[in-house]
């Protein structure tokens, strides 16, 4: 593993190893045992979009691993004035030991990896959000004790998070059902990747437009905002198409009795999730958010250690 850009580039074995390491780091953290394999190392973090969890967890995580997190807002960088990614990549490679980028165009992430000489971590692009989904799988393992054979239902927009769940779930044997409005379905590329992985692991992939069908019997119910970053201008047009896609108590009642509710956050109550569900007993969204820290520390330790 040279970079962490898309789950499709990471093997099932590597995902499971990262999750195991993340659990070890979580225990260490709880026990107050220091672990500083990145002492003297620098992570450059480029943000072209807002962030609470990604920024705070990478910054805290890099510090805890003994390194220095260098936060660079894209608006303050020369990127904002037109300096190309190929030059930015080669310059940052001379100062830092790794780059994390949150951006719009997935090509920017790929460009940093192509032109730079240090590991690149995708902290979210319009296409995918691998750090999120690694933490999600860790959370599923934590609450369900296994991944293989777990059924995960994703309800809502076919966005970067949904794309990445499609890349990841079948790979590790999680059955996935995705329900989106037809016009906001996941790109066919991710559906075929999911079906190809499922063919070799025996996992199932269901793509539909009916939230009730996706959620029936699910162990994990997942949703995300209907208006992702960069789509704000279309928000008013998009939202009416999601009528019936709110994860509320009635929808949750179709899942397994011990089902958990996941959301990458930020959440919009009364839109994609009801207040009752996100604040209810099935919701483990803050544990999920905490697991961003531990799983990303595992990624950084593996790539930069």
**Residue numbers of the site for ligand CP (CB under 6 A)?**
51-54, 124, 132, 264-265
Q: How far is the CB of 297 from ligand NVA (least distance, A)?
A: 19
Query: Please, are residues 218 and 156 in contact by the beta-carbon 8 Å criterion?
Result: no
φ, ψ dihedrals at 108, nearest 5°? -65, -40
Exactly one of 208, 229, 239, 254 binds ligand NVA (CB under 6 A); which one? 229
Exactly one of 161, 259, 267, 300 binds ligand NVA (CB under 6 A); which one? 161
**Contact mark string toward ligand NVA, 99..128, x via CB under 6 A:** -------------------------x----
| CA dist., res. 263 & res. 49, Å (int) | 19
Q: Give catalytic residues, as residue numbers.
A: 102, 129, 132, 224, 264, 292
What contacts 222, CB < 8 A, 6 or more positions away? 136, 152, 153, 154, 155, 161, 165, 261, 262, 263
Q: How far is the CB of 301 from ligand CP (least distance, A)?
A: 20
Q: How far is the CB of 49 from ligand NVA (least distance, A)?
A: 7
Q: Does 239 bind ligand NVA (CB under 6 A)?
A: no
H or E element that contains 153: strand 151-155
Exactly one of 224, 246, 288, 290 binds ligand NVA (CB under 6 A); which one? 224
Q: Does 57 bind ligand NVA (CB under 6 A)?
A: no
Name the residue whose CB lies closest to ligand CP: 54
Q: Does 15 bind ligand NVA (CB under 6 A)?
A: no
Q: Which does 224 bind (CB under 5 to 8 A by kind): ligand CP, ligand NVA, none?
A: ligand NVA
Query: Got the DSSP string for 7-31?
Result: GGGS-HHHHHHHHHHHHHHHHHHHH
| CA dist., res. 159 & res. 1, Å (int) | 25
Q: Does 160 bind ligand NVA (CB under 6 A)?
A: yes
Nearer to ligand NVA, 124 or 177 (CB): 124
| CA dist., res. 171 & res. 136, Å (int) | 14
End-to-end CA distance of the chain: 12
Q: Does 91 bind ligand NVA (CB under 6 A)?
A: no
Nearer to ligand NVA, 75 or 249 (CB): 75
Q: How far is the CB of 171 from ligand CP (least distance, A)?
A: 21
φ, ψ dihedrals at 252, nearest 5°? -60, -30
3-class DSSP state of 68? strand
Nearer to ligand CP, 123 or 181 (CB): 123
What contacts 194, CB < 8 A, 6 or more positions away? 166, 167, 169, 170, 176, 205
Exactly one of 7, 214, 264, 282 binds ligand NVA (CB under 6 A); which one? 264
H or E element that contains 114: helix 106-115
Q: How far is the CB of 97 from ligand NVA (least distance, A)?
A: 25
* Candidates 24-32, 135-143, 154-162, 269-277; binding stretch for ligand NVA (CB under 6 A): 154-162
Q: Rg for the chain (alpha carbons), in Å?
A: 19
Q: Which does 52 bind (CB under 5 to 8 A by kind): ligand CP, ligand NVA, none?
A: ligand CP
176: β partners: 152, 205
List contacts with ligand NVA (CB under 6 A): 124, 159-161, 224-225, 228-229, 264
């Amino acid at each position: 593993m040279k970079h962490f850009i898309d789950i499709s580039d990471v093997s099932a074995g590597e995902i499971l190893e990262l999750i195991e390491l993340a659990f070890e780091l979580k225990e260490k953290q709880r026990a107050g045992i220091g672990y500083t394999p990145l002492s003297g190392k620098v992570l450059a973090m480029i943000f072209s979009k807002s962030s609470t969890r990604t920024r705070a967890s990478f910054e805290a995580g890099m510090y805890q691993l003994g390194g220095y997190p260098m936060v660079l807002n894209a608006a303050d960088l020369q990127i904002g004035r037109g300096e190309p990614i190929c030059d930015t990549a080669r310059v940052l490679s001379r100062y830092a030991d790794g780059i994390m980028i949150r951006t719009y165009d997935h090509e920017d992430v790929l460009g940093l990896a192509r032109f730079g000489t240090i590991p690149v971590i995708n902290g979210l692009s319009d296409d995918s959000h691998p750090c999120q989904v690694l933490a999600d799988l860790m959370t599923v393992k934590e609450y369900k004790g296994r991944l293989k054979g777990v059924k995960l239902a994703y309800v809502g927009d076919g966005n970067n998070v949904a794309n990445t769940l499609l890349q990841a779930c079948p790979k590790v044997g999680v059955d996935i059902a995705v329900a989106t409005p037809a016009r906001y379905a996941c790109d066919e590329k991710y559906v075929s990747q999911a079906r190809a992985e499922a063919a070799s692991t025996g996992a199932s992939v269901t793509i539909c437009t009916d939230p009730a069908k996706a959620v029936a019997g699910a162990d994990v119910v997942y949703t995300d905002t209907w208006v992702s970053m960069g789509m704000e201008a279309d928000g008013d047009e998009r939202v009416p198409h999601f009528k019936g896609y709110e994860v509320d108590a009635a929808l949750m009642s179709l899942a397994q009795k011990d089902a958990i509710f996941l959301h990458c956050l930020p959440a919009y109550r009364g839109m994609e999730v009801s207040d009752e569900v996100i604040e209810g007993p099935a919701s483990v969204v803050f544990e999920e958010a905490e697991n961003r820290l531990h799983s990303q520390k595992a990624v950084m330790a593996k790539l930069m250690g």
